[in-house]
């Protein structure tokens, strides 16, 4: 009786071992992938086994929590179903083309090979780099010791990042700023940070705004070029200058015109008997109004 129990036990252990040994014939391993939006994302995978070569019969990819596979590949029949942006690269590695934010998540990778099958999970995360930040101020021209607001905006990034502020002496002003994060229809984020001053000291400028991604790595920076109110006054001065110049030009051209008119008159005085062809020449050169002038001129002669 005892031997029968022992035999049963040994058989059980063997069968468990059998199953295990079949499984350990090969091992599928995948690294989690970080993709960049609208680019290709590689998911490096490998089959580890003592026996070689291993031939793949079926690849099935499912998003975690979904019943239907998002991608199925059967190399022997050379058939692909599902999302055609997925590709099996050499061996068991995968590639996802034209990565989108919606591709983010956990996946289940089921592989069937000549050595049996295995299942593994991996995650895809997606990133997009923020555009260079743009700084604006309210008011546009800042008065010394006046109220001011600095705005720094960076768009087109993913996932949500943050904005830090530093002044000319690298003093960290971030704690005084308020950050607003909005998500567009495309899933991309816009970061807007506002720094408010009751009394702005122009010596603090230029302010720097630094955009950091969700891993606190810098993605871009901008410096705020201060426009001062008193600077704008010199611009007004410049305007006066241009006005003066314009006045000089107008008066100058008037004087020149008068001189030309005088010269013409003098010519006529030198030729008191203008002949027909001369009239035609003048008519061609000056057009229309000449007749009247010549008429006036004649009147002058008669005086």
Ligand X SMILES: *[C@@H]1O[C@H](CO)[C@@H](O)[C@H](O)[C@H]1NC(C)=O
Q: Which two tokens stand for residue 288?
A: 């229309």
Q: Give the total of residues touching ligand X (CB under 6 A).
A: 4
User: Which of 200-220 are b and which e, b meaning 16 or more Cβ less than 10 Å from the residue's Cβ?
Assistant: bebebbebbbbbbbeeeeebb
Least Å distance, CB 39 to ligand X, is 30
Closest separation in Å from C-beta 166 to ligand X = 8
Nearer to ligand X, 172 or 235 (CB): 172
By C-beta, is 33 or 163 nearer to ligand X? 163
Is the Cβ of residue 32 or residue 172 nearer to ligand X in the bound state? 172
We find the least distance from the C-beta atom of residue 132 to ligand X, in angstroms, to be 20
Closest of 12, 34, 52 to residue 123, by C-alpha: 34
Nearer to ligand X, 136 or 172 (CB): 172
Measured from the CB atom, is 164 or 268 closer to ligand X?
Answer: 164
Closest approach of Cβ 248 to ligand X, in Å?
56
Distance in Å, CB of 164 to ligand X, minimum: 5
User: Residue 199 Cβ, how far from ligand X at the closest point, in Å?
Assistant: 22
- Is residue 16 within 8 A of residue 106, CB to CB? The reply is no
Give the CA dihedral 114, 117, 119, 124, nearest 10 degrees: 20
List residues bridging with 208 in a β-sheet. 166, 223
Query: Going by C-beta distance under 8 Å and a sequence separation of 6 or more, which residues neighbour residue 143?
Result: 200, 228, 229
Q: Which of 62, 164 has the CB closer to ligand X?
A: 164
Interacting residues with ligand X between 3 and 62 (CB under 6 A): none
- Mapping DSSP to helix (H, G, I), strand (E, B) and coil, where does residue 154 land? strand
The values of phi and psi at residue 160, to 5°, are -60, 135
DSSP single-letter state for residue 225:
-
- 175 binds ligand X per the rule CB under 6 A: yes
Q: Closest by alpha carbon to 166, among 227, 200, 210?
A: 210
Interaction pattern, residues 135-174, with ligand X; x per rule: CB under 6 A: -----------------------------x-------x-x
**Interactions with ligand X, residue window 78-117 (CB under 6 A):** none
Looking at the Cβ atoms of 164 and 189, the one nearer to ligand X is: 164
Tokens 């009786």, located at residue: 1
Smallest gap from residue 172 Cβ to ligand X (A): 4
List contacts with ligand X (CB under 6 A): 164, 172, 174-175
């Amino acid at each position: 009786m005892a031997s029968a129990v022992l035999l049963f036990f040994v058989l059980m252990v063997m069968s468990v071992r059998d199953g295990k040994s079949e499984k350990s014939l090969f091992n599928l391993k995948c690294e989690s992938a970080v993709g960049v939006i609208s680019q290709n994302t590689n998911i490096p995978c490998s089959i580890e086994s003592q026996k070689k070569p291993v031939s793949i019969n079926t690849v099935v990819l499912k998003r975690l929590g979904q019943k239907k596979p998002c991608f199925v590949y059967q190399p022997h029949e050379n058939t692909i179903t599902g999302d055609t942006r997925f590709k099996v690269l050499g061996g068991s590695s995968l590639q996802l083309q034209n990565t989108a934010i919606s591709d983010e998540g956990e996946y289940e990778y089921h592989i069937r090979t000549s050595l049996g099958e295995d299942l593994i999970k991996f995650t895809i995360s997606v990133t997009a780099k923020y555009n260079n930040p743009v700084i604006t101020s309210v008011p546009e021209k800042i008065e010394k010791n006046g109220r001011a607001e600095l705005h720094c905006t960076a768009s087109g990034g993913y996932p949500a990042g943050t904005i830090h502020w530093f002044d000319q002496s690298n003093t960290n002003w971030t704690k005084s700023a308020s950050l607003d994060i909005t998500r567009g229809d495309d899933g991309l984020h816009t970061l807007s940070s506002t720094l408010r001053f009751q009394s702005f000291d122009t010596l603090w400028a230029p302010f720097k705004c630094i955009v950091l991604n969700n891993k606190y790595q810098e993605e871009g920076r901008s410096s705020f070029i201060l426009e001062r109110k008193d600077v704008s006054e010199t611009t007004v001065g410049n305007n006066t200058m241009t006005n003066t110049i314009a006045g000089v030009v107008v008066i100058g051209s008037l004087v020149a015109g008068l001189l030309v008119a005088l010269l013409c008159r003098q010519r006529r005085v030198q030729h008191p008997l203008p002949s027909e062809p001369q009239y035609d020449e003048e008519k061609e050169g000056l057009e229309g109004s000449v007749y009247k002038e010549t008429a006036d001129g004649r009147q002058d002669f008669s005086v």
